[in-house]
Amino acid sequence: MKLAIFPIAFLIFFPSLLLSQNSINDNPLRWTKGWTNFDPNHEAYPEPDKDIPNIIDRDTYLSNDLVYLLSGNTYVTNGATLTIQEGTIIRCDTETSTSLVISKGSQLIAGGLKGQPIVFTSSKSPKARKSGDWGGIVIAGSGTINSPSEAGIIEGDFLPQYSLYGGNDNNEMTAIITYVRIEYAGKKINQSKELNGLSLYALGNKSILNNIMISHSADDSFEFFGGTLNTNNLISYKAKDDDYDFTLGYRGELYNIIAIRHPYISDASGSYAIEIDGYDKKMGLTSKNPSAVKISEATLINLSDNSNYQHTTAAISSKNLAKLNFLDSKISGFANVVKFDNSYRSYTDLANSFSLENSIFNVHDTNVLTRLEPKSEAQKLLKYNMFTTQFRNVTDLFEKPLDNKNPEFTLKQSRDSYTVMQ
């Protein structure tokens, strides 16, 4: 059992922490209402009216009076802009290798509304859809990466002339995506090539991405390859691999993000709510800084209970001297809060690279997983947080977390009886 020290000095010097801890419990995640769908396999989407061409080399507009079929890899090229009207539904073919690729220099404008989200989903009928039915959405930008090559080729079997990403334009505007759902993507090409729900390659900070839900991805839901994009209001629901993956020197901020995992849904290589690499070992590292991410108001939950919690991993995996700062967040149902690889050679490395503050966590094993000794030193990384002294089921902590239609991840008021401060 973990022990907690609650000195009087803590109350004197950190009164604001106690006030904001109450706000964690009071946040009902209202921003998720009106456009999300936590049970898309029972949604009866209309059949397609029109095919989307595989090469879009001039400005193109998809209107919501038609339902579209995306079949095969579709490339937006030649500096063209693909604009999608609010409320548009795009069915994605499951019999071919199907993805939407926004090539470098082109743009995607997908502006949904809260009451009229844009939906990318499987072409299969209700109850027949599954993770990896189609590829996903790939966006290539001209921002920076921390590889000596300063550029790269997007992952997957895509046409090479449309696969380049990276550059030095961190002010580029490549995409506007808001109120969009991406369902059943992440198709596996082979053992070494898998597609994500949304792959963001070197996007600049003028792009706007918010209110995006990715559900049942067979690989990562969101992956950020370099760039400086800031984003908010993101949901990853029951991904097979990581919910949010950062690499190649991505530097940005995420606000209001949710990752809902299940203990029986995981990749054989290990899956995490957050996986962050300071750099890609295969591509090398320049003198540029490693990936550095600030995340606030995150809800990272594994829907585990006393019968299956042993199948969970850490909520966060941090590798290759990546830097990650968490604030005002909830982490529950995992084995550990964070797992560090061997690139962190001292507790100074850990302290300079990771922080979790003003948050609450509920795990069933060691809070911080590292090979450094003594183990007790690592726990100091998690000071100024609340935690449970014994593992608690997801239903003990949250309101209606297992509701298939309208889950609620607000902390129960009763949690005050079994949480303590550190």
Residues contacting residue 229 through CB under 8 Å, at least 6 positions apart: 143, 200, 203, 204, 205, 207, 209, 250, 252
Domains, the chain: 8-421 (2.160.20)
Residues contacting residue 397 through CB under 8 Å, at least 6 positions apart: 332, 362, 388, 411, 412, 415
d(CA 335, CA 314): 5
d(CA 75, CA 53): 9
Contact in structure between 152 and 199 (CB atoms under 8 Å)? no
Cis upstream peptide for 374 (omega within 30°): yes
d(CA 12, CA 34): 42
pLDDT in tens, 250-290: 999 999 999 999 999 988 778 999 999 999 988 888 877 99
- Measuring CA to CA, which residue among 356, 315, 317, 358 is closest to residue 333? 315
- Give the pLDDT of the chain (422 residues) as one tens digit per residue: 333 333 323 333 333 333 344 445 445 688 999 999 999 999 999 999 999 999 999 999 999 999 999 999 999 999 999 999 999 999 999 999 999 999 999 999 999 999 999 999 999 999 999 999 999 999 999 999 999 999 999 999 899 999 999 999 999 999 999 999 999 999 877 656 789 999 999 999 999 999 999 999 999 999 999 999 999 999 999 999 999 999 999 999 999 999 999 999 988 778 999 999 999 988 888 877 999 999 999 999 999 999 999 999 999 999 999 999 999 999 999 999 999 999 999 999 999 999 999 999 999 999 999 998 887 888 889 988 999 988 999 999 999 999 988 999 988 876 556 666 66
DSSP state of 211: E
Residue written as tokens 């889950």? 407
d(CA 9, CA 408): 35
Could you give the C-alpha distances from 420 to 47, 369, 403, in angstroms and in order?
53, 21, 28
The distance of Cα 355 from the centroid of its chain, to the nearest Å, equals 19
